[in-house]
Amino acid sequence: MAAPVADRPGNGGQIVYATQPVSPSTDVRLSVLFEERIPYFSERVAHAMDELLPQAGEQPERLHKAMRYAVFNGGKRIRPLLVYATGECLGVDVSRLDTLAAAIEFIHTFSLVHDDLPAMDDDDLRRGLPTVHKRFDEATAILAADALQPLAFAVISGMGEVATHTRANLVKLIADACGSMGMTGGQAIDLAAEGKELRGAELECMYALKTGALIRASILSVCLLADGTSPEYFDALDEFSRDIGIAFQIKDDILDVEGLTEVIGKTAGSDERLRKATYPALFGIDASHKRCAELLADGLNHLAPLGKDADPLRWLADYMVSRGS
């Protein structure tokens, strides 16, 4: 089956369909500009995920088909790109990053499948296609997400070329990022806040958890993998990741208000329908744009000590708040 691929950074915000997974191509990998190498990185992570996921024909077939549908239904692959961009910044060979990037995308995918369920945001459309519970059924969607999460930890634990203590630290970092003090906790706060007024700091705390935690882990996990990342660089990347994580969610909320369903690939206006506590709903669209720009500027300032090596992260941060989908 030809699987739809990504609305990818650099394609002008259009949803593009292509056949994947595919093997990494050779023509773009040597380009100097990170943004020109994005198709190469996207293909690398798609290839890694294909290798790591059970085949669709493997029993139980419906579950494995749903897992693959969830993963290969497109997606910007922002978190894998953060892994690769941080790897470039810290001089980690790209071949050491594929499994980590794939594992983090599995976690992100699991969070989206659950986020779309009727008990949560009750969305029918994701990445321009029916959500997993619509395309399959609710129980299969729950189970597919349930299976993607441990798969992520299994593949990190199995990174044979990485020292055992580093693998353990990676598992801990990513588990914390997606647990009750991270993404899952943030999702719980998001649901409890429907129809409520939150103060700015409370809202940003929710964003830092539900979205920021995994974005932060995408960057800090590479610091762990790099071995010997200086405390100065670690702290700079940590601060940067916190700012862009919150900015990314504010931009997501802005797109829910300003975007078109056919461009963003999910039903526009969904947040208003659910009376979600979002930045635009509580503070207005202008304040949302302003806060996004402020967070981007703060985030970029934190990257100063890393010099030109952080240019891929600078480009990606800018893309994360200027994207059209």
Angstrom CA distances, 18 to 41, 60, 73, 154, stand at 16, 27, 10, 29
Q: Per rule CB under 6 A, is residue 112 in the interface with ligand IPE? A: yes
Judged by beta carbon, residue 12 or residue 60, the one nearer ligand IPE is: 12
Q: Are 300 and 245 in contact (CB under 8 A)?
A: no
Please, which residue, 88 or 121, has the CB nearer to Mg ion?
121
Nearer to ligand IPE, 249 or 288 (CB): 249
Decide if residue 75 touches ligand IPE (CB under 6 A): yes
For position 111 contacting ligand IPE by CB under 6 A, the verdict is: yes
Q: Which does 76 bind (CB under 5 to 8 A by kind): ligand IPE, Mg ion, none?
A: ligand IPE
Closest distance to ligand IPE from the beta carbon of 82 (Å):
10
If one asks whether residue 115 binds ligand IPE (CB under 6 A), the answer comes out as yes
Q: How far apart are CA 112 and CA 142, in angstroms?
A: 11
State the DSSP string of 195-217.
T----HHHHHHHHIIIIIHHHHH
Identify what 111 binds: ligand IPE, Mg ion, none; CB under 5 to 8 Å per kind: ligand IPE
Considering the complex, what minimum distance in angstroms separates the CB of residue 160 from ligand IPE? 28
CB of 38 to ligand IPE, least distance (A): 13
CB of 217 to ligand IPE, least distance (A): 13
Amino acid (1-letter code) at residue 180: S
**From 76, 242, 302, 314, residue interacting with ligand IPE (rule: CB under 6 A):** 76
Which residue minimizes CB distance to Mg ion?
Answer: 121
**Count, residues near ligand IPE per rule CB under 6 A:** 17
Q: Which residues contact 308 (CB under 8 A, 6 or more apart)?
A: none
| Angle CA 278–4–273, to nearest 5 | 25
* Partner that binds at residue 249, options ligand IPE, Mg ion, none, CB closer than 5 to 8 Å by kind: ligand IPE
Q: What one-character-per-residue DSSP string does 248-317 give? A: HHHHHHHHHHHS-HHHHSS-TTHHHHTT---HHHHH-HHHHHHHHHHHHHHHHHHTGGGGGGGHHHHHHH
Written as six digits, the tokens of 106 are 């599995």
Q: Which residues bind ligand IPE (CB under 6 A)?
A: 75-76, 78, 111-112, 115, 121, 123, 127, 183, 187, 210-211, 249, 252, 256, 266
